[in-house]
Amino acid sequence: MNETVVEPDASTDQVVLDVRGMDCASCVASVTKAARSLPGVRKADVNLARGRAVVEFDRGAVKPDAIAAAISKVGYPATPQEEGHDPAAAEEQRLHHQRAHAREWFRRAMLGIVLWLPVEVMHWLLPRFGVHPPHHGLGWMDWVAFATATLAIVLIGGGFYASAWKALLRRTSNMDTLIAMGASVAYVYSLVAMGGVLAGKWATVPLYFPESTGLLALISLGHWLEARARDQAGSAIRQLLNLTPPVALRILIGEAASAAGSFRVFFVP
């Protein structure tokens, strides 16, 4: 039986990058495209659950820092992992950042639901008990909806607006851009309509303050569920890393075998 040994290309190198800010498959596609756009990059594998990218490149054409800079430029901060780093420690640090990110979206979601759900429930239930909005002017429910929507725009919308602004600076867009636009259009239209009613221009018009609040609340809840799912998807990987032994002993087998490069590896727990 003939055995074929394939020698690796001496000019090919590999770098592992920690990438932050990825939330969905679209983010993975953007990171992959940014890495592969550089001359000398031969392959890029991006792992959403672990927040990392493994890139094979021609060391004579491009450097790891240039690859990290290209990925960071499209909105996903990337840093090359240093040689000799501890994978378990790196995974623990990534897990810490991811859980902090998830907690932030959870707080936004809970605040949004508190601001939106009671108003929405009253909007549907009160007419059944004979409480109807006024035919002219604004009712107390309109003012409550205006107050809760304003709080939602300020306290919850900040995360969406910041993400949309960063995408705009990169001359692109993302899902948060659409959410920011939708919430803003509903809020600003309702604000203008309210001003028209107060000025006596219109008797009454439909207002969409609850819709603006509900959109921010539900999408924040979606972001939290997404972050939670990524954490669960990466749990198996973390468990495997925890099984990695801290010490490996290489024992050569005889002088001739040593010269030929044969050895056995024993792992010490």
CA distance 155 to 222: 17
Q: How many CB atoms lie within 10 A of CB 14?
A: 13
Q: Which residue has the higher pLDDT, 94 or 197?
A: 197
Predicted pLDDT of residue 236? 58
Task: Using the predicted structure, report yes or no on whether residue 235 has a pLDDT greater than 80.
Answer: no
Min mean pLDDT across 49-53, 160-164, 212-216 is at: 49-53
CA distance 242 to 244: 5
CA distance 192 to 103: 35
Task: Using the predicted structure, report yes or no on whether residue 1 has a pLDDT greater than 50.
Answer: no
* SS3 call for 262: coil
Which tokens sit at 237? 């990987």
Predicted pLDDT of residue 268? 45
| Domains in the chain, CATH or no CATH each | 8-85 (3.30.70.100), 90-233 (no CATH)
* SS3 call for 128: helix
pTM: 0.70
CA distance 90 to 92: 5
Which tokens sit at 174? 């993302």
Band of residue 4 on the pLDDT scale cut at 50, 70, 90: very low
Min mean pLDDT across 105-109, 210-214, 229-233, 244-248 is at: 244-248
Phi, psi of 56 (to 5 degrees): -100, 130
Task: Using the predicted structure, report yes or no on whether residue 122 has a pLDDT greater than 50.
Answer: yes
Q: How many Cα atoms sit within 13 Å of 166 on the Cβ side? A: 15
Question: At 33, which amino acid appears?
Answer: K
Task: Using the predicted structure, report yes or no on whether residue 155 has a pLDDT greater than 90.
Answer: yes
For 100-109, how does the pLDDT look when each residue is reduced to its tens digit (9 = 90+)? 888 899 999 9
Q: What percent of the chain has pLDDT over 70?
A: 76
Q: Which residue has the higher pLDDT, 99 or 253?
A: 99
Q: Which residue has the higher pLDDT, 29 or 241?
A: 29
* H/E run at residue 56: strand 52-58
Predicted pLDDT of residue 243? 65
Longest Cα–Cα distance of the chain, Å, equals 99
Question: At 173, which amino acid appears?
Answer: S
For 132-141, how does the pLDDT look when each residue is reduced to its tens digit (9 = 90+)? 676 677 888 8
